[in-house]
Structure 1
Amino acid sequence: MAEVFLRFKAHYGFQITFCNPYAGHEKGNVDYKVGYMRLNLFVPLPTVTDVQAFNRELLDRCEADWQREHYKKGEAISRLFEQDKKTFLYLPKTSFATCRYTREKTDGNGKFLIDGKHFYSSSPEWAGRELVVRIGAHTVEPFAPNGEPISAHIRMFGKQRTDSVYVKTTLSRLLQSPRAWRNSLIRKALPERLREEMDGLERAELKEVLQTMHDLSGRYDFDTALQAMEQAAKLGALEQCQ
């Protein structure tokens, strides 16, 4: 994390003054503020099912808290902050990427391993290659040598093994080789009715339906594409779904 902090410092151009070790009196005000936030925003202990949604809610609550009066200066904290902003340095035009970069070797299927338990797909043509991977708090992205992202995944956590598949590249691969349909992870993720309908298609028909799934996923998203195609399967019009 020291490397990320140094990049953060360089990006925004601020100076660092460290406190002395074992000298808590030098940062008592900071400790008090931490205690204030803990008592007012995290008691009772919240249950979080979506970290990003919780963080957005937390930011709104913090901004609302700025409307209270400063304990010493007798003015709203939000107004004092606006005064402080007049002396700030200008911010860079681009925001800071809070992430770390690693080099990871892909396996024969173009997948790579992060955090010891979690596999992510790049693309089959990148099998057996070393890729630069950007790891953020919520996302994992492998990059091609030209700097273009190959795929994008929600970052997984926990001790259980996970296998994250990027739908766009997987569908593109299936369009090139529909015979791989039976063993694909996308097939396993489909609703039962839709999976059975697609299993019964001839190769040419299956390729057309996969193309539709690919197009709808790009136009909307994968879940929306599945909902539309599942409804079409129920109506017996899967091959006419566009």
Structure 2
Amino acid sequence: VTKEGKEKDRSILILSFPYSNAAYAYPLPAENSECFLYGLTQLFRQAGGVPRKLRIDNLAAAVVSIRKGGERQYTEAFERFRLHYGFDVQACNPYSGHEKGNVERKVYYTRQHCFVPAPLIEGDEELAEWLHRKMIEDRARPHYEKGRTIEELWQEEQKELLVLPERDLPIFSFHHANVNKYGEVTVDGEALVVHGIPVPNRVLVKKEWDRFMVLSQEGEVYLEAPRPYTKKRRELPWKDILAEWAQKPRVVEYSRFRVYLPEAIRKYFMEQPKQTASRIRGVQKLLERYTVYEIAQWLDKYQRWDLTPHEIGVLMEAKRSEYPAKWEEAYTPSVLVDYETDLHVYDQRLCPSREGGSRA
């Protein structure tokens, strides 16, 4: 997905119902145990109930090992989750994707239907709501072989779901971690500084799907913050994209990257069609000194659609080199505000005979 001109990776957990071909999907920032179980909780809520049986592959978030005879050893967290919601689990054989072919096809369909091109998002909550609507709208199409809509078949299948428990199971895990001599604790592979903690030390790390807490052995909270992977974003390669557009200006209108450009720059490119190629090359040059969003903010503020990129660069550089605006402060007594010194008084003191002052 794309947010503020940067790409973010999201894993999509899909729950598919083979009888009706209905499905639900939920976006998550990672594929660990906390995300997997939190995502299942949200999917059960969206479906309005719990499937009686859940067929899964041998993902590490649920399966610890496969014993002789095919018996699975599940993680303690997944086993507790299964007992809370009351469903049975069927694990596929290793390397046997055909045993859950319905959801495998649904993964491919959802990727093509919803994420090509990558959607623009404001936040994860908005993405989850958007994806939920898309999956509901998709149920209006006919089933591929039953001659009825997916929605009609889903209404029948939904009646077979187990009732949701009154309360969701809280999803979190605890891990011990060492504090090194620099006061750092490693969370999700990243060393994070924790202030106010004696070093070296040993602490507890409580992990939820999107946040973590660093706790003392007595439960005192040293740090609470988003998990590091929730912040990771990649810059879109605008220089390469603009280089391609400069060669073929007509593709701008049809490029999948066009929607990711700030509105001001899209308008600037299309304002004078005969100059589109030169403006693209000029903005590409400006990216050596400014970001796409700095250029867009300048255009939004001054509305100078007539200028060449070189002229915009000159004005932006001039604006950058200006002295900052005078700060307002409230410490000077009111009697001294705008007070002007009478230098004649000093002249009388320094040279009384010439300025008519006294020697006293």
Query: 2:106 aligned with 1:30, yes or no?
Result: no
Query: 2:168 aligned with 1:95, yes or no?
Result: yes
Change (3 A) 1:74 1:132: farther
Q: Structure 1 CA distance, aligned partners of 2:192 and 2:88?
A: 39
* Structure 1 unaligned blocks of 5 or more: 160-232, 238-242
Change (3 A) 1:110 1:23: closer
Aligned length: 163
* Structure 2 unaligned blocks of 5 or more: 1-60, 63-74, 233-326, 332-360
CA contact (8 A) 1:118 1:156 kept: no
Larger Rg: 2
The amino acid across from 1:38 in the alignment is R
Residue from 100, 111, 119 that aligns with 2:192:
119
Q: Which residue of 2 aligns with 1:16?
A: 89
The structure with more helix, counted as a fraction of residues: 1
Q: Which residue of 1 aligns with 2:23?
A: none
CA contact (8 A) 1:69 1:75 kept: yes
CA contact (8 A) 1:132 1:144 kept: yes
Q: Which residue of 2 aligns with 1:63?
A: 136
Greater Cα shift, 150-159 or 9-18: 150-159
Q: Structure 2 CA distance, aligned partners of 1:63 and 1:146?
A: 47
Change (3 A) 1:75 1:150: farther
Q: Which residue of 1 aligns with 2:202?
A: 130
State the superposition RMSD in angstroms: 3.6
Q: Which residue of 2 aligns with 1:236?
A: 330
Q: Scaled by the length of structure 2, what TM-score is found?
A: 0.37
With CA pairs under 8 Å and 6+ residues apart, which has the higher RCO, 1 or 2?
A: 2
Shift of 1:62: 1.9
The structure with more strand, counted as a fraction of residues: 2
Q: Structure 2 CA distance, aligned partners of 1:82 and 1:148?
A: 49
CA offsets 1:112-148 (integer angstroms, 9 cap, x no match): 2213324154x63676553332223321123455667
Q: Scaled by the length of structure 1, what TM-score is found?
A: 0.51
Q: Which residue of 2 aligns with 1:155?
A: 227
Query: 2:216 aligned with 1:139, yes or no?
Result: no
The amino acid across from 1:65 in the alignment is D
Shift of 1:47: 6.1
Shift of 1:37: 0.7
Query: 2:175 aligned with 1:81, yes or no?
Result: no
Q: Which residue of 1 aligns with 2:114?
A: 41
